[in-house]
Structure 1
Amino acid sequence: MLLEVLVHGPISRAEIAARLQVSRPTLSRITRQLFDDGLLAEGGTQLRSTTGRPSELLHVNGAARHFFGVKLTGDHLYAVVTDLNAEVVASVNTPLRSADVTEVVGQIAEVASALRTTFPDLTAAGVTLAGTVRAGSVHGSAYLHWSNVPLADLVAEATGLPTAVDNDVQALTAAEHWFGAGAGLRALVLVTIGVGIGCGLVLNGELVEGAHGTAGRAAHLVVDQSGPVCDLGHRGCAASYLLNESIVRALGAADYADAVAQARAGEPAARRVFGDAGFALGIIIGTVANLVDPQKVVPTGDGLPLYEVAADRVREGIEKSYEPDPAQLDLDVQAFDFGEWARSGAALAIRAALTGRTVTAG
């Protein structure tokens, strides 16, 4: 019941009863318990149907619980505290002292301890990172060079918080599905671009997890068989055009910000390179959309300035690859910063706490 209100927003008792197919007495009992726990509150009335009187609306009391979210990169720790609605109320960004597992876990615990001085009611933790994650263990992380690390167990032990760990793109997709642009949708595609290329999928209202923790890989879809070669030796794949690193290398730029500046200034070479990257993004979007028929596609990530300077080529790539009418594809571009990755860690903690998928200390 709490989940229904959390995802779908303020809602009447009658609507909840219909959605969950529960009796009014059962609904009253559960509602009373959630009110006693401070998790639900009443606020305002609204006419929710064409007949009858306005209904009293239930909404989540976000301040009732707080959650700790962490995003790990190869050299940085981004952390936030959110309320139950996944609204950020505090944030901490700090360089990693080391990529050693013990050091990183210790640093996470230090940040959690510092934040607990203001938020002593922290309920659970969520940690995200790029790599292959299954059942709370990191089976491979190229940026941190970890393998077979039981991270959820280690963080739960160090912080005393029930902990969930997942791939960063999966966590971000889940956050958008519950708390963002895709809230409550049955079919959603999220595509992240930047240092890497990620693709998260929601089908039939559930996050697609895959058999080996690697769902949604789209970086090596072939765009042009005569194109450049990526780091894995694939010719003309999306990664060879679309990664920040690929764009910087193609232009001989100082960094990605320099490459973007060149494109915004109208430099012909930069416009061409970003145009090719935009076309590759369109191919990914169109191809994945063909497979899953999403209600919405959400492009995001630290490489998003690409869309600003090459939106026309993104649309061209979609038109080239998407079989139905491209006009029916709902593209919802979401602004991004690294704090959003950490927020998705807190959203992961919220999801895990509500579904019983956290690891507890000891």
Structure 2
Amino acid sequence: MSAGGGPDNLPWWATGLLLPVVNVALALLVSALVILAIGEDPVGALGSMLRGAFGTGEGIGYTFYYATSLTFTALAVAMAFHGGLFNIGGEGQAYIGGLGVGLVCLSLGGWPWWMVLPLSVMGGAVFGGVWAAIPGWLQAYRGSHIVITTIMFNFIASSLMVYLLVNVLIKPGQMSPESEAFDPSTFLPMMADMAASVGIAMESSPLNFSVFLALAACVGVWFFIWHTRWGYALRATGANENAALYAGIDPRKVIVVTMALSGALAGLLGVNELHGVQHRLMLNFPAGLGFTGIAVALMGRNHPAGIIPAAILFGALYQGGTELIFDYPTISRELVVVIQGVVILFAGALEHMFRPALVRLFARRPSVAAKPAGA
């Protein structure tokens, strides 16, 4: 395949592989200069991040644990993007989706995890989907801008969860705004325990059964968007709403359904964070992963095949940054956030900065290939 990267006729691998690698390399170079500016060894610091993310079994487990949550929120952004919508409400949708997950787990104490999981997934998807469908309806039928409404709904979701956990769902006699712990029978199995059951030794980490759910979600999103009639209607509406209407597609209905599906995907973050690890409802469990999912989706070109490696990269930044703080006391948490922000900047906002240079580079190739063999 020689083309397929876009209207500038770049090869697909140049758009999907080479360009992200160049962007990340430049982001790491800038990060190294920042570390050098504070008087630390940039090679050692970046090496510490790499070892922290992939150097031990525990580090790998944490990296993939973060990547699991980021996969859900990035898929949510990608789903909306293909429908011509920019969903910035993944944080709030994940928050409300987690409420659905928590209510299911609290209600089904004593049930085995494999019976609770489908209902937990349904709870997270329904709560997150309904929460996202409201901004979708407001845009489709009232003309409200989806970016503004989804941002506002993040704050509403946060306030609602504070109220519920302080006044309704808090464990009696407890000061911390958390619910009661889920029944141990409902806990999702940890990856280390699953590996031990088949004779494979693996270091303990928060990585749990949800990672398989994230992979299944990637396959499901790929199939839905590119291999179903509804997916075609979604992409047609995102490409040209007027043309979709002329073809008999109702754009308003598509917008609402697209946002509902987007919110449902974001709501699955609660399965990993609450059902799999925290085992209780608590405040701020999304921890910004809904916003980081935007950068993951952009870097992954809004395709599940690209979102998976992008999520692993950002999971490595989360885990490697934690290890970096331990190894280099002079490097603060704020500086780690700066490094993550630089990667987001080059992989997201400036993702096409080197595209013109690549276009010029590949434009020379046909003339070289067209030379006679004896020239």
TM-score range, shorter chain: under 0.3
Please state which structure has a larger fraction of its residues in helix.
Answer: 2
Bigger relative contact order, structure 1 or 2, given CA contacts below 8 A and separation 6+?
A: 2
Please state which structure has a larger fraction of its residues in strand.
Answer: 1
- What is the TM-score with the length of structure 2 in the denominator? 0.27
